Homo-oligomer: A and B are copies of this chain.
C-alpha cells in the first residue's frame, strides 16, 4: 500500500503531501538541547514528536538519516538580542569547572532520559564545537555574498540588506519593520548596524574560555550558525524536513533560513515542522523561565507540583495524547489519565494472546487498520491514532467476552496492528520492558512462580508457598496479595 503522508509545513502554513527529494529517503534535521542543565518535560516533547516521525517513516520503508545536534557553545542568555553570556560558560563559571565538563554531564543525562523514554538515538548527533570550521566556512560564504559585515572582530548578518533581495521573516510571518519597532533601540554601544541583525561570529572577551581562532578574531560562532553548517554537512544544501520546537521559529529558524539563502541562494529545508509547547499554568515551560519540571523529577516524583512519580512510558503517552501542534498543559490529572490510558492499551494488547480464532469474523479489523494509517498520514495525528487503538481494545474485550468472533486472519491482523502502531510506531513498551526496567523473561518467570504459589496455597501446602515468597523477596521481588490474586514489583 502506498501512503500519502501529509505534514503541516510552517513555511506555507498548510498541510502538504510529503514528497522526498530522493525517493525512499528522508533527510531530517532537528534542533537538540543546549546542554547546561537537566532535561525537562519541554525537551521531551520535540524528542518524542520527531521520534514518532522517524519511526513512522521507517515503518513505511524509508531510510531515514536523522541528524539532531547538541548545542555546546554560542547559545547566549538573551536569545532574541543574541547577547549576554554563553549559557554553558556561565554554568561552568558558577560551578568552577571546564565548560566541557558541563557539556559532558548534561549530554549524558539527556541521553539517559531519552533512553528511558524509548526515544531512538538519531543517526548522527553533531556538536556545535565540533563544527567550528564548517561554521567559519559558511560565514565566509555569507560575507562574500555581501550579506554580512565585520565590526571589531565580530561578524553580523545584515538583515536589512538581505531583506532587499529575499523575504526575511517568511517563516515566522514577522515583518522587518515590526522587528525594528519591537526590539530595543540600539544604544550607540552596539556594533550592529540594525537591532534585527544577528551575530555570525562573536569576538571573545579576554576572560572567555570557549574561543577559536579566525581571520576576524579569537571568538566563537553565533548560535544560529551551527544548525545551518551542520545540516549542510550531513544532509546537503537541500534536505527534506527541518524540525524543532515552535519557540525556535523566531529568531533561530528564521536566521537559519536567511543564512542558508544568503550562502547558497536557496532555502535548505523543504518542510519545516514545529511542535507546540508544554505549558504550566498557561505559561511555556522552559529553563529560562524557571518553571520547569525535569524528567528525572517526573520519573521519581520529586517535585512539589507532582502528586506521585510517573513512569517514562506514562510521560511518553502523555505527550502522544495531544497532537504535536497543540499545546499540552501540565497537570497531575492529565498525567494520571495518561497512566490509566497506557495501562488500558497495554492490557488490550496483551489480551490478544488469549483470544482464540473462530471460523468467522464479526469484527472488521482491516477497516480499523486502515484508519490507523489515516490518522498518521494526516500530519501525524497521534490522538486520533490512539482513539483508533482504543477501538481495538474495545474489540479485543468483546472478543474475550465472547460477544464477537474473529477468524485466524483477522486475529493475526489485530495482533499486528497493536504491534506495529503501539510498539513500533508510537514507541510504547509494556512497562516491564521499558527503560530502567525488569526484563520480559523475568516478568514471565515471576508470574509463573506466583501462580505456583497460589496453587500451593490452594493445596494448603503452606511451606512451598512461603518458600517461594521468601526466595522471591530475597531476589528483590516485592509481592502484594490482592483480592484478585497478586501484584508484584521489582525493588
By a beta-carbon cutoff of 8 Å, the part of chain A in contact with chain B is 65, 98, 100-101, 103-104, 108, 111, 121-127, 129-133, 137, 212-213, 234, 432, 438-439, 441-442, 444-446, 448-449, 452, 455, 464, 468, 471-472, 475-476, 490
Contact = CB atoms under 8 A, between A and B. Distances in A.
Nearest to A104: B124
Taking chain A's interface residues, is the majority helix, strand, or loop, or is none over half, making it mixed? helix
Given A441-B490, A445-B449, A449-B452, 15 more contacts: A65-B98, A98-B124, A100-B126, A104-B124, A104-B125, A111-B111, A432-B475, A432-B476, A438-B441, A439-B439, A441-B475, A441-B476, A442-B445, A444-B475, A448-B468
A448 B471 contact: yes
12 contacts: A65-B98, A101-B124, A103-B124, A104-B123, A127-B127, A127-B130, A130-B130, A438-B438, A439-B441, A441-B476, A442-B442, A444-B475
A100 B67 CA distance: 10
A293 to B, nearest CB: 23
A110 to B, nearest CB: 13
A284 B123 CA distance: 33
Nearest to A67: B100
A65 B101 contact: yes
A72 to B, nearest CB: 9
A445 B446 CA distance: 7
Contacts of A130: 127, 129-131
Given A133-B213, A212-B133, A100 B234 contact: yes
Contacts of A439: 438-439, 441-442
A362 B361 CA distance: 78
Contacts of A468: 448, 452
Given A455-B464, A475-B445, A104 B127 contact: no
Contacts of A104: 121-125
Nearest to A445: B445
Nearest to A107: B125
Contacts of A464: 452, 455
A448 B476 CA distance: 14
Contacts of A490: 441
Given A441-B439, A464-B452, A476-B432, A123 B101 contact: yes
Contacts of A471: 448
Contacts of A131: 130
A141 to B, nearest CB: 12
Contacts of A100: 124, 126, 234
